[in-house]
Structure 1
Amino acid sequence: MNNLQSNGVIYIVTGENCSYEACQSAISLKRHNPDLSITIFTDQQVQEDCFERVIPISTYIYNSCRQSAKLSYLAQSPYQNTLYLDSDTYICDDIRELFMLLEKFDLAAAHASQRWGVEYTVENIPDCFPEFNAGILLFKKSPQVEEFFNTWLSLYQRDLKRNLVSNYLPDQPTFREAIYHSNLRVATLTPEYNCRFIQPGFVNKAVKILHGRHFNLSNIAETINVNNKRRIHYMGMRGNLKIVKHHQDLTQVKQYIRFRQSLQQRGWRETFVLALKEIFKK
């Protein structure tokens, strides 16, 4: 793994609420990753001592659009290898292995659980090309990555002028567009490193990063990581996380499928004979 001094985490937030969220997220990060350096870009006064750097955001840059601030400051990360986190994240475990990806890739992100393709389409990109969630980004510092961020910001500002989506303009569609037309080596993170628990999903192994707002994120982390087997999660009506355990032993399922296939291909008589042979073998 690279020297930890070259690895770090950044938050880019505006407004009191998001700054407070970032502080809580950073506390959870430090709990499991005490040697990771954290920098916050913000327009607020931050008192938490879990940040190694606090860099002020000029209000004229984002002009009341927090996504513009994010896109403007990503390239200003003080680290060679950077993990960007949205403020509404909660770190459940050691996540330093993420930086190993940057030994082979330029950027990494997880597939988006919510895609904007219906309301916000991008021309000349096939539907089969995925939309990534831009709330958790891993990237290395390089001229190519900096050029990518500049392109992303330009595309986002272009669509701000178009006013494509009322009241809120997501940054995921332009992120997808910028990636599609770039030459970056992009790795896809598994859902365990960007678990959008507020929407139905599937995870396998331990969830490392929760992404979403909830009044008790520590409880969500405990519930979703009650075991690390295959499981489906969804949010209940009262804000409590529901877990559906996936059936682990597939032996009976496979036997039933073989039985049905044998009936179709061989008929009852030959299937019965083969079944007897299997039984007596055991």
Structure 2
Amino acid sequence: MNPTNSAFGVLYVATGKSYVSEAISSAQTSKLYDPSIAIHLCCDSIYDLDLSCFNSISILDSPSYSYRDKVAALLSPPFEKTLFLDTDAFIISPISHLQSSIFNFDLSACFAPCRIPAGFNDATIPNFFPEYNSGVLFLRNSETISSLISDWLDLYDRLFVEYDQHWDQASLRTVLWNYTNNPSFSLLTLPPEFNVRLTKPWIIGRGIPAYILHGRLPPRELPILADYMNSDIDCFRTCNDWYAKYPDSLIKMRFARPSCL
């Protein structure tokens, strides 16, 4: 399947059969809640899986089966306006109608819940500019973004060699900080409703829906959680309230990790 001609769409990057399978599930969920959205899969192999939920598919050259693969795939975005999602991230509220506003900026993302985790920390950057979570990225295709992604990949490779840094967000943080001095680059920090990290304490602010969930959960809990988050947006929705209402929920938070995203 050749890349789609749609101006806006979702990109999943998956290397390894288990991640391709997860991308299928997330893409199906995204289309359930936003049926008109185009979705492209960049993967290492077709495998023996039903990929009919994707509008287009491409094969990633020389995959490394690491965080590097998604950065490399972003060098060739399938859309003029791309929403990149990790394979465990998916849409639960229509988002297509927001593209004209969000893509006024070159790159839009949310802060990572773990602002500056263990691992490489660029000491030249102030703490008030923490890491962005790279699992949900809105990218406007441009020469500036192409240059930024190329710089991100180069720095990722260098930190991997010099510091054994496997996570990709430390390198993204440095590159974004450097680009804030570039007059041709614009960055939008989105509210956390655009990247609800289910493994960390979360709160959905009063007045807007949760748009994108990011994390693994049992399929049977998804419609219940989506309904809890979005059936009544005129109130705060929190993880504490969720677990009080559903004490048997199998959605597990993780805190004690050497690095957290």
TM range (shorter): 0.7 to 0.9
Whether contact under 8 Å (1:223, 1:241) holds in the other structure is: no
Structure 2 CA distance for partners of 1:120 and 1:238, relative to 1, 3 Å? farther
Whether contact under 8 Å (1:224, 1:233) holds in the other structure is: no
Provide the rounded CA distance (Å) in 2 between the counterparts of 1:64 and 1:6.
28
Partner of 1:121: 121
Superposition map of 1:59-138 within 5 A: 60=62, 62-65=63-66, 67-138=67-138
Task: Provide the alpha-carbon RMSD of the alignment.
Answer: 2.2
Provide the rounded CA distance (Å) in 2 between the counterparts of 1:118 and 1:100.
36
Superposition map of 1:1-282 within 5 A: 5-45=6-46, 46-58=49-61, 60=62, 62-65=63-66, 67-165=67-165, 169-182=166-179, 183=182, 184-204=185-205, 205-216=208-219, 217-228=222-233, 229-234=235-240, 239-240=249-250
Write the letter of the residue equivalent to 1:221: A
Structure 2 CA distance for partners of 1:221 and 1:101, relative to 1, 3 Å? same
Whether contact under 8 Å (1:220, 1:241) holds in the other structure is: no
Provide the rounded CA distance (Å) in 2 between the counterparts of 1:115 and 1:164.
20
| Residue identity (%) | 29
How many residues matched? 233
* Structure in which a larger fraction of residues adopt helix: 1
Write the letter of the residue equivalent to 1:170: W
Provide the rounded CA distance (Å) in 1 between the counterparts of 2:31 and 2:77.
19
Shift of 1:44: 2.8
Whether contact under 8 Å (2:217, 2:250) holds in the other structure is: no
Whether contact under 8 Å (2:103, 2:138) holds in the other structure is: no
Partner of 2:258: none
Shift of 1:195: 0.5
Shift of 1:102: 4.4
Provide the rounded CA distance (Å) in 2 between the counterparts of 1:126 and 1:25.
35
Whether contact under 8 Å (2:197, 2:215) holds in the other structure is: yes
Whether contact under 8 Å (1:42, 1:54) holds in the other structure is: yes
Provide the rounded CA distance (Å) in 1 between the counterparts of 2:80 and 2:119.
36
Provide the rounded CA distance (Å) in 2 between the counterparts of 1:132 and 1:226.
28
Deviations 1:211-233 (A, max 9, x none): 00112333332333353212321
Provide the rounded CA distance (Å) in 2 between the counterparts of 1:221 and 1:44.
32
Deviations 1:81-127 (A, max 9, x none): 11101110132121113412345211100111123444331121111
Q: Secondary structure at the match of 1:5?
A: coil
Higher relative contact order (CA 8 A, sep 6+): 2
Partner of 2:255: none
Provide the rounded CA distance (Å) in 2 between the counterparts of 1:103 and 1:231.
27
Write the letter of the residue equivalent to 2:56: R
Structure 2 gaps, min length 5 = 253-261
Provide the rounded CA distance (Å) in 1 between the counterparts of 2:223 and 2:114.
23
Shift of 1:10: 0.7
Whether contact under 8 Å (2:103, 2:139) holds in the other structure is: no
Q: Secondary structure at the match of 1:63?
A: coil
